[in-house]
Amino acid sequence: TVGCAVVDQKGQTACATSTGGITAKMPGRVGDSPIIGAGGYADDEVGAVSTTGCGEAIMKACLARHVATVMGTGQDAVSAIKNGLNHMESRINGFGGAIAVSCKGDVGMHFSTPRMPWAYVRLGKLHYGIH
């Protein structure tokens, strides 16, 4: 799975997520990625989110909307993602990761899997990691 979250100078947000799914999936199986509020969510009043991981768990947790809702309470992006992932793990025993930007330009990423490659550019500077 891959994804992107963006906020521009005007505070306008967008997200996108795309995936091939999981190896040996049943034909016709659809995961979280194309589901609004699960695989992605964007709202200029809050921010934008893209998720990845165990699709069935992410759908049950409505992970992207969960993260956006928590950001809307004023928490920073990383805390909001951690909140969503903790909820998903404790309630559904599911693992994954997410990236998020707030409408104010706060940026965050976190994952409960062993690794997730990520990168962001802010103030013209590139940041990246995988572990």
Partner 1 sequence: MVEPVVIVHGGAWAVPERLWSDSVDGVKTAALHGYEILRKGGSAVDVAEAAVISLEDNPVFDAGTGSVLTFDEQVEMDAIIMNGTTMEAGAVAAIRNIPNPVKVARLVMEKTPHVMLAGEGANKFAAQYGINEVDKDLLITPYAKEELAEYKKYTNAVYCLFNKTDNAKQMGHD
Catalytic positions, written as ranges: 1
**Shortest distance in whole angstroms from residue 124 CB to partner 1:** 8
> Residue 75 or 103: which CB sits closer to partner 1?
103
91 binds partner 1 (CB under 8 A): no
Contact code string over 18-57 relative to partner 1, x by CB under 8 A: xxxxxxxxxxxxxx-xxxx--xxxxxx-xxx-x-xx----
Strand partners, 98: 51, 110
CA separation for the pair 23, 73 (Å, rounded): 37
59 binds partner 1 (CB under 8 A): no
Radius of gyration of the chain (CA): 14
Site for partner 1 in 62-81 (CB under 8 A): none
Q: Please report how many Cα atoms fall inside a 13 Å half-sphere around the Cα of residue 39, on the Cβ side.
A: 18
**Shortest distance in whole angstroms from residue 115 CB to partner 1:** 4
Site for partner 1 in 104-123 (CB under 8 A): 104-105, 107, 109, 111-123
CA separation for the pair 22, 69 (Å, rounded): 28
Q: Give me the amino acid identity at 85.
A: L
94 binds partner 1 (CB under 8 A): no
